[in-house]
A = this chain, B = another copy of it.
Amino acid sequence: MSLSFQVGKTSGNARAGRLLTPHGDIETPVFMPVGTLASVKGIPQDTLEELGAQVILGNTYHLYLRPGIETIRKMGGLHDFMAWPRAMLTDSGGFQVFSLNELRKVTEEGVTFRSHLDGSTHFFSPESAIEAQIGLGADIIMAFDECTEYPADRERVRASMELTLRWGKRCKQYFEEHKQEVPWRTSPRPSALSPRQEQIRGSARNHSEEEASQSFFGIVQGGMDRALRKESAARTIEIGFSGYAIGGLSVGEPRNLTREIVESTLEHLPADKPRYLMGVGTPEQIAEYARLGVDMMDCVLPTRAARHGLLFTSEGKISIKQARYAHDQGPLDPSCACRVCRRYSRAYLRHLYASNEVLAQVLNTIHNLSFYLDTMRRVRHSI
């Protein structure tokens, strides 16, 4: 396997480690900003670099619909397409198919779903989801799973878990047979690049890519049942992956239940492989999960909340739209050293939001991402 994971220090259950990927190293525990459509909404890539984002996510479901996998594959993969030289991870599309499609139809073969854009019918199978992710060429790709709904009875949870396990095996087999097809191993450099573009995108190729391949993570399901989670973990490990994700959480269950399932599932995951908790959480939660031993997390919360004027600060959450900030000349977060807090006042940010200015989204997102990335940096240093 080309992904290597080194655990450095540990502190209780928490571990500080380093993930080596074909597109750079990732210090863990890490928070991964979400760039659904090959863009972290409103934020230029150089700003993400300045913020210290080490790895970002792309959503296979969205990219499959726009601009299409083939378009990105022909351009050398996601890194080249969006001019992001650092590490990337794609999900399998499974979660979006379940969360955005009320008319989906699940069979043993896969899932038939309708595009949320135009209602057209599409089909994802374990094989086609891995094919798509090989075409996108992220450094880390995910198995195609069924995200079990909440609540669900034990029989339903077990059936869903078994389906995810069967799909996991099919994903693994497809991946092993096709992993050499990743575009940064097979495609020539595009000829139309300027020297500067060549430099930015070329830095994606400094890690002896000819040797490297993508890393493939399995996903543990099992609903809110500790025994099923344990079984799912054991049987997913049996299939054999480079890393293990905990899926099917943050789907409406109470937070203490999330924590309980995370904690109990982590016990059953191998210590020498990265552990990825999908789709959580608040700043407090990501710090807490890291202390429990989670290595990787992603969440749309910092970016989505920013678009709604909800800002995370060292003094708690702020709704910047409130009239109380209309004349507040202080920085958003006096303890934050981000570009936004260093320069602008709460009054200005409130004005931008109240006036529906696009700069509100840009600045709010920069701050929230900075706050999340700083939170995780502090956790790393504390281990």
Partner-B contacts on A (CB < 8 A): 37-46, 66-67, 71, 74-75, 81-83, 190-194, 196-197, 200, 326-331, 334, 339, 341-345, 347-348, 351-352, 354-355, 357-359, 361-363, 366
Asked if A358 and B355 sit within 8 Å, CB to CB, the answer is no
Give bound CA distance, A20 to B67, whole Å: 49
Give bound CA distance, A327 to B67, whole Å: 10
A354 to chain B, nearest CB (A): 7
Asked if A358 and B359 sit within 8 Å, CB to CB, the answer is no
Contacts of A38 in B (CB 8 A): 348, 351
Report the copy number of this chain in the oligomer.
2
A264 to chain B, nearest CB (A): 39
What 5 additional pairs, Cβ within 8 angstroms, besides A83-B348, A192-B345?
A39-B352, A44-B363, A192-B329, A193-B329, A197-B345
Asked if A194 and B342 sit within 8 Å, CB to CB, the answer is yes
Give bound CA distance, A235 to B335, whole Å: 56
Contacts of A326 in B (CB 8 A): 67, 71
Asked if A41 and B197 sit within 8 Å, CB to CB, the answer is no
Return the contact of A42 from the options B66, B200, B359 (Cβ within 8 A). Answer: B359
Give bound CA distance, A2 to B357, whole Å: 33
A145 to chain B, nearest CB (A): 26
* A335 to chain B: closest residue by CB: B194
Asked if B37 and A358 sit within 8 Å, CB to CB, the answer is no
Contacts of A329 in B (CB 8 A): 75, 190-193
Contacts of A354 in B (CB 8 A): 66-67
Contacts of A331 in B (CB 8 A): 193-194, 197
Asked if B359 and A44 sit within 8 Å, CB to CB, the answer is yes
Asked if B327 and A358 sit within 8 Å, CB to CB, the answer is no
Give bound CA distance, A66 to B41, whole Å: 26
Asked if B75 and A345 sit within 8 Å, CB to CB, the answer is yes
Contacts of A81 in B (CB 8 A): 345, 347-348, 351
Which 3 A-B residue pairs are closest in the complex by CB-CB distance?
Answer: A192-B330, A42-B358, A190-B329
Contacts of A339 in B (CB 8 A): 44, 46
Contacts of A83 in B (CB 8 A): 343-345, 348
Contacts of A328 in B (CB 8 A): 192
Give bound CA distance, A81 to B38, whole Å: 34
Contacts of A330 in B (CB 8 A): 192-194
Contacts of A357 in B (CB 8 A): 37, 39, 41
* A40 to chain B: closest residue by CB: B359
Contacts of A43 in B (CB 8 A): 359
A253 to chain B, nearest CB (A): 32
A137 to chain B, nearest CB (A): 15
Asked if A45 and B343 sit within 8 Å, CB to CB, the answer is yes
Q: Which of A71, A193, A362 has the most CB of B within 10 A?
A: A362
* A334 to chain B: closest residue by CB: B194
A71 to chain B, nearest CB (A): 6
Asked if B192 and A67 sit within 8 Å, CB to CB, the answer is no
A287 to chain B, nearest CB (A): 25
Return the contact of A359 from the options B39, B345, B347 (Cβ within 8 A). Answer: B39
A350 to chain B, nearest CB (A): 8
Give bound CA distance, A352 to B37, whole Å: 8
Give bound CA distance, A305 to B349, whole Å: 25
Contacts of A342 in B (CB 8 A): 194, 196-197, 200
